[in-house]
Amino acid sequence: MALLTQAPKGTQDLLPRESAKWRTAEEVMRSEAAVHGFGEVRTPVFEHTELFLRSVGDTTDVVEKQMYTFEDKGGRSVTLRPEGTAGVARAMLEHAMYNDGLPVKVYYHTSCYRYEKPQAGRLREFHQFGVEMFGAAQPAADAEVICLAKGIFDRLGVKNLTLELNSIGCPTCRARYHEALKAYFTGRKDELCETCQSRLERNPMRILDCKSPVCSKIAEGAPVILDYLCEDCRDHFESVKQYLTEAGLAFTVNPTIVRGLDYYTRTVFEFVSNDLGAQSTVCGGGRYDGLIEQMGGKPMPGLGFGLGMERLMLILQAQGIELPEDKPCEVFLASMGEAASRRAFALTEQLHRCGVAAEVDVCGRSLKAQMKYANKIGAAFTMVLGDDELQQGKAQVKNMKTGEVNPISLGETFIGEYLAITTKMPGLTD
């Protein structure tokens, strides 16, 4: 019989072995965020569509081509979140988190959804770790967010990453830059893709982010934003670089970075890996000082980053970095007969309450099949319970690696004896 269905295109299942690695990485991220003073926030998987139209920008690929938008049964337009920042900013405003003091510092693990051609490191359902900081305008805030990301990579042991920085200015200096871009691209308008031709009047900076090989080649000769920065934006960018230098972070200035979402201002950055092929960016972010005002709040600076989990896992695999998997089975309690099965079950629950990874047969296997299963799951120790063991009130703990056995009581001293035996016998810690 054929399977009823398979996972939708552009999605993937995380089976226990892989999800354990993800949890390890996520715990590193939570820990690093916590030492920087960030707390976790969780937002809905879908939002009202206007949130993304207003914040992400209607000239971006995300809004124009990639959002999963539909009407609910009440006739309201809702969208599966294509990125994390807008929903977090909405939550910050809705719950007036700024009243607890500034800056507001939050992090999140979230799933996002974009309709695009699936490829390595780019899925239709993907996952991000992100941080957001609201209410901090100083260059030191930019540097802290960047250092937080670098701290995560360092703790995971990721190598060969390049930090690339740029400033895309504020609305004032960017207006002059837009005019320069229009003048440049208008001269080659007929060569641009249809999407970029429509962007030429509305937001020419989006052309710099186009993935079309033709548009990318044309963009190589475009004016550079750094030549158009106002004095304040130039001073801010120089100060960010000085903070990073003082903290010992190496970086390169890449004037072609614009990021893919319209809410960015001033500092933008990416951590780039040579181990990802075309999808080289594993983490990207920057400032969005106008976002909160666009969403109906009072003017408030903001900044943050998003780190792609799927791409991170590809890097870890490419660099041979092994993350711990789930705790293996420490002891398997095999049994023969109904009474022994019930006792084995009860003893297993005692072990669970003490934090011992223990398993017992729940499939009605023969003793031979139970022992075969114990080997398959890598149990470090085994115990066999049958009528004789129940009658005597004793069993044997066997070290599956050395073959050494030790007697153990099945009575009230069971847990103490088990812990005494296993802590002095080589097994899990070898």
Domains (range + CATH), the chain: 16-170+230-318 (3.30.930.10), 331-420 (3.40.50.800)
- How would residue 278 be classed by pLDDT, with cut points 50, 70 and 90? low
Q: Are 330 and 378 spatial neighbours (Cβ–Cβ below 8 Å)?
A: no
Predicted pLDDT at 423: 83
Quote the tokens at residue 77: 């337009």
Predicted pLDDT at 116: 85
Q: 39-40 and 104-113: which strand pairing?
A: parallel
Between CA 339 and CA 388 the distance in angstroms is 11
Predicted pLDDT at 118: 85
Q: What is the DSSP string of 204-259?
A: GGGGGG---HHHHHHHTTSPPGGGG--HHHHHHHHHHHHHHHHTT---EE-TT---
Identify the H or E element spanning 351. Answer: helix 338-353
The pLDDT tens digits of the residues spanning 119-160 come to 877 899 999 999 999 999 999 999 999 999 999 999 999 999
Q: 358-360 and 331-335: which strand pairing?
A: parallel
Q: What whole-number percentage of the chain has pLDDT above 70? A: 96
pTM: 0.88
What is the DSSP secondary structure assignment for residue 122, as one 8-state letter?
B
Identify the H or E element spanning 408. Answer: strand 405-409
Between CA 424 and CA 130 the distance in angstroms is 44
Q: Are 408 and 421 spatial neighbours (Cβ–Cβ below 8 Å)?
A: yes
Residue 375 has pLDDT above 80, yes or no: yes
The pLDDT tens digits of the residues spanning 5-26 come to 999 999 999 999 899 999 999 9
List own/partner pairs for 241-244 with CB under 8 A and 24 or more apart. Answer: 241/165, 242/139, 243/139, 243/140, 243/142, 243/143, 244/143, 244/146, 244/147, 244/163, 244/165
